[in-house]
Amino acid sequence: MRGLVIKNTGSWYTVRTESNELIECKIKGNFRLKGSRSTNPVAVGDYVHILQNKEGTAFISEIEDRKNYIVRKAANLSKQSHVLAANLDQCMLIVTVNYPETSTTFIDRFLASAEAYRVPVKLIFNKVDCYGEDDLRYLEGLMHLYTTIGYPCFSVSALTGEGVDAIRNELKGCVTLLSGNSGVGKSTLINALMPHLNVKTGEISYSHNKGMHTTTFSEMFPLPEDDGYIIDTPGIKGFGTFDMEEEEVGHYFKEIFYHSQNCRYGNCTHTHEPGCAVRQAVEEHLISESRYTSYLSMLDDKNEEKYRSGY
């Protein structure tokens, strides 16, 4: 029997079959994807085959090849990855410039990982109703930066509904992963898009300007009157990149890759080499310093002692 994994609680998986039946499944203890170093061999968005035993318990027996997926380093800093979701048409990264502030390093790490696994990303800047003049100027600057690089940007207020219709249009017919730091208003945005779900929302810890986890597992929801889905995942504190070689990292920063073609050396790391076109582009403000700093931080991931979960 074939189906789509629509919910993962860590120990059980809800699979929607081709006949639209929902079946709770487990995976066998020795089940692993060939060559996988993932903490979750089965992810929401996977197409799977299931078998039922005589007792009626259903087991996932096979995972179909994935079109793509998005992955981060496992939170325990092990050599393993954690797959956020699979078979995506796009990802919407929800970010906030305050209450709490999403760092550009986090944004850039997410974008680079999505580039590596061929997942298009759109940036959703939420909570515009909360910002003063300084925050709004910073927001405008970030939207200009990422739009220029090639990432569509949207400003919204999930609370008031401002800009939500534009997001709804972008979701049509797509399987979309919604992700972001804890506290950026992801659950509030889902409720604005699909009020019937009544997803639980959380509070901000104002003493630390950080969000509190409200979603505890990954789940995908069918869009009403559409063939698309949105996938809700737990809020992410940090985004550790996984399985990238040093010489590959620059390929996943669109503007760094573009300028690197003019470097003197083909294996330039853009850190110290003479004739580096990327460092020259940074000096000439053709590449933003924040993006270059994010690139350097990802190179530093090879040194485990220097990794910080706040990235």
pLDDT tens across 177-200, in order? Answer: 999 998 999 999 999 999 888 776
Which CATH architecture fits 2-63? Beta Barrel (2.40)
Task: Measure Cα distances from 124 to 131, 167, 217 in Å.
Answer: 15, 8, 22
Band of residue 170 on the pLDDT scale cut at 50, 70, 90:
very high
Name the helix (H) or strand (E) containing 219: strand 218-222
Per the rule left: phi > 0, alpha: psi between -120 and 50, beta: everything else, 163 is left
Report percent pLDDT > 90 for the chain: 67
Contact indicator for 220, 233 with CB cutoff of 8 Å: no
Output the pLDDT for position 208: 45
Closest-CA residue to 84 (of 50, 125, 123, 117)? 117
Out of 18-22, 105-109, 243-247, least confident range: 243-247
Q: Where in the chain is the domain with CATH 3.40.50.300?
A: 69-232
- 3-state SS class at 107: helix
> The whole model's pTM is what?
0.87
Contact indicator for 48, 62 with CB cutoff of 8 Å: yes
Asked whether residue 86 carries a pLDDT value surpassing 80, the answer given is yes
Output the pLDDT for position 92: 97
Mean pLDDT, the chain, integer = 86
State how far the Cα of 107 lies from the Cα of 311, in Å rounded to an integer. Answer: 9
| Cβ neighbour number for residue 172 with a 10 Å cutoff | 12
> Rounded mean pLDDT of 75-86?
73
- Please tell me which residue, 102 or 41, carries the higher pLDDT value: 102
Residue 97, classified by CB atoms within 10 Å of its CB into exposed (0-12), middle (13-18) or buried (19+), is buried
Q: Where in the chain is the domain with CATH 2.40.50.140?
A: 2-63
Domain 69-232 has CATH 3.40.50.300: yes
Angle subtended at Cα 44 by Cα 43 and Cα 46, rounded to the nearest 5 degrees = 75
pLDDT tens across 198-242, in order? Answer: 776 655 444 444 444 444 588 999 998 778 999 998 877 666 666
Asked whether residue 151 carries a pLDDT value surpassing 60, the answer given is yes
Contact indicator for 267, 247 with CB cutoff of 8 Å: yes
Output the pLDDT for position 129: 96
Output the pLDDT for position 198: 76
Contact indicator for 115, 254 with CB cutoff of 8 Å: yes
Structure-token pair, residue 67:
């079109």
Domain 249-306 - what CATH class?
A: mainly alpha
Task: Measure Cα distances from 269 to 117, 201, 257, 265, 286 in Å.
Answer: 21, 43, 11, 9, 18
Asked whether residue 91 carries a pLDDT value surpassing 80, the answer given is yes
Output the pLDDT for position 275: 96
Asked whether residue 9 carries a pLDDT value surpassing 90, the answer given is no
H helix intervals, 103-250: 104-116, 133-149, 164-171, 186-193
